[in-house]
Structure 1
């Protein structure tokens, strides 16, 4: 849970790094020695000279001073150091618990996969930064920026890592309550979990919850394309785009974004046209909001209300509440031309919405095998002690 909180933080810090255009300030990736920032003025001058060779400096920041450079350098440096802290905070305890054999049978594989994902995330981060340091940007882009594809991969991997960490942590905590107290998903008498989970209505609600969680993830991923293309700076109005709910087709599928002479790759607009990217994000966000509202409304229906466990009903309500806040943040970010504070809160809101959905999924999860075995043994031992 502590590691997932760190990943939450690094996602938000990464968003601020992107919004303040600090991500290209460090031109090298040094996993070990890079943990220390420049310590002397000469060191700062060396780093600044490296930055001067980048397209971003040549195109945007050619009048920047060393002191101004320090502010963006520290933002990116902080983001990278936080990533290293996550690796240490996760891998060291993992090794400790694994060596002491204090993990259940499936846990080592699961946690090792997360540890590997932390390493992959670091590689993806550098792969993304490299795309913004290539000299070809000067010829192809009017504004230096990293590849939106690599940015989406970097953010998507962070979301997967976060979901894995917090989902695993919550499952362990829920299993511990069941094993020791017999409490399952808010029910003090957890013996009814099999009856509840086998109910067709609960199964339908669970499938809908999984689908909505996937939609939340997809919406957040589309937000990475919005950030990567600065698509939030076009059509700063809502719900209209240029006085229409849907922009003209020739603008959404602009032939200028096709690279094939036959224009058979107009699909590129979905990922490379700022207008289309913003429209897609709007559609996904609106769909996510109404889907969250529908799930919450379903939990209030008498049939579902009678059978759903308390924790599931609670987090369906929380998810709807967070979705409302997220919509307000998203529209405000758009209307006010993407200020850093609002945009950072909007990105944090996407993680918060995913968090509430993961809580909901765990609330509809059956106790783990180890927890069930522990509970059965405890109940049997208690019965034997009774006269």
Structure 2
């Protein structure tokens, strides 16, 4: 006889179902945890030929996989509380929960702040054209700064062998070279500091057992992304040191804008991973300690906010893509093409022959698609469109937040997101009109990451908590 636990969920709550199943005597049924979920075994006795020595009993077993409890197991693994212990004597989830220590979350947030800082410093390095001043990659000995005048002269002579000096900076003095060298050196040293501040604590926390298995996997993934980010940095610089730039009379000695986008994009992904993982660890610790308000948890289960939750994720994704389009603008110096707003020349849309110029096409191209990545005019126009679209989406999300029953913290986050979006749009227009001055351009780049941070905070606040945890006594009753 087959019993479907999935159909039973329509009439009973999950907590009551758990209590009922566990309360059935073991002689009648058996409820055990298996890989991927739970199994329910029904035993039925049937008559068999008797024996003088021993009475045999035929047991007929039927195994059912509980869809609901398998889903619960999946949700708990998705959070950083993978080992929920379900009590057989209690109808609620046991308060004995393994979780990642809060100090790990604070460490990840601190490291994310360092990544935020290096993004700003990297933007300044790009704006001051300092990125090609150090022409060698020395991970260990590169930490030593030239001290004597002779050492500075040697570094300057190395710099003179490459296209940037030969084409742009032939009149540069040693004093000017020291400035751009120190900018690039500080950028690289900050990167090394992030590596040390991430790897050493990660090893310590892992050795002491401060992290759950899922959190450990995330930290390992972030460590790999951090190493890849360092490799991308040198790979990007190497593109600006190529001697092939000397063979093309019109070429400008600068790093590849494609590699610049990859370098910035990976830094953003690293920041996103550290920020969201740190916030999630801190929230899971509150749940495990019983200090997370159950009222907020129940509010996050309201189906009326599902559309808003997905909209917040979509808005954060759009902000990320808009930031990458801004990296293309920086890599091509496209901000210097048209310096008025909202017009580009006589119209809002530049002439068609400028948007889709044949100069940027290659033989065999079906469509002039390379203009979207190589044409400074098209790249600037695309960034304008994406920026204004992002601003409109943020405004629409804020208006929508007034009409759905989100939590007070989420409402506050949507207000902050709207304010930062307005500030970022103002900085972008000002940077364009004033022909990309360094202070405004740096503030605009910092604003893009601040805007993304605001969106990610809203996404985190809207994240659901597994329903069985909400129904348990683990959460704080308010």
Q: Shared fold (TM-score greater than 0.5)?
A: yes
CA distance in 2, matches of 1:245, 1:33: 52
Does 1:310 pair with 2:408? yes
1:290 is aligned to: 392
Query: 1:259·1:265 contact (CA, 8 Å) conserved in 2?
Result: no
CA distance in 2, matches of 1:200, 1:372: 17
CA distance in 1, matches of 2:186, 2:294: 45
Query: 2:316·2:456 contact (CA, 8 Å) conserved in 1?
Result: yes
CA distance in 1, matches of 2:178, 2:327: 26
SS at match of 1:266: coil
CA distance in 1, matches of 2:145, 2:227: 21
2:342 is aligned to: 239
Q: CA deviation at 1:288?
A: 0.4
Q: CA deviation at 1:266?
A: 1.2
Does 1:190 pair with 2:298? no
Q: CA deviation at 1:169?
A: 1.3
Normalized against structure 1, the TM-score is what? 0.91
Sort the Cα spacing of 1:24 and 1:6 in 2 relative to 1 into closer, same or farther, 3 A. same
Gaps of 5+ in 2: 1-108
Q: CA deviation at 1:180?
A: 2.9
2:443 is aligned to: 345
Sort the Cα spacing of 1:41 and 1:265 in 2 relative to 1 into closer, same or farther, 3 A. farther
1:13 is aligned to: 121
Query: 2:287·2:474 contact (CA, 8 Å) conserved in 1?
Result: no
Does 1:157 pair with 2:266? yes
Does 1:229 pair with 2:327? no
Which of 124, 127, 130 is the aligned partner of 2:232? 124
Give the number of equivalent residue pairs.
367
**Cα deviation code 1:256-280 (max 9, x no counterpart):** 10122x4425111000000000000
**Cα deviation code 1:325-379 (max 9, x no counterpart):** 000000000000000100000000000001001110110113489x959x84688
CA distance in 1, matches of 2:294, 2:166: 64
1:324 is aligned to: 422
SS at match of 2:318: helix
1:28 is aligned to: 136
1:359 is aligned to: 457
Query: 1:178·1:190 contact (CA, 8 Å) conserved in 2?
Result: no
SS at match of 1:205: helix
**Cα deviation code 1:79-116 (max 9, x no counterpart):** 01000100111111110000011102201110111111
CA distance in 2, matches of 1:254, 1:41: 49
Larger gyration radius, structure 1 or structure 2: 2
Higher strand share: 2
RMSD of aligned residue pairs (Cα, Å): 1.9
Query: 1:178·1:367 contact (CA, 8 Å) conserved in 2?
Result: no
Higher helix share: 1
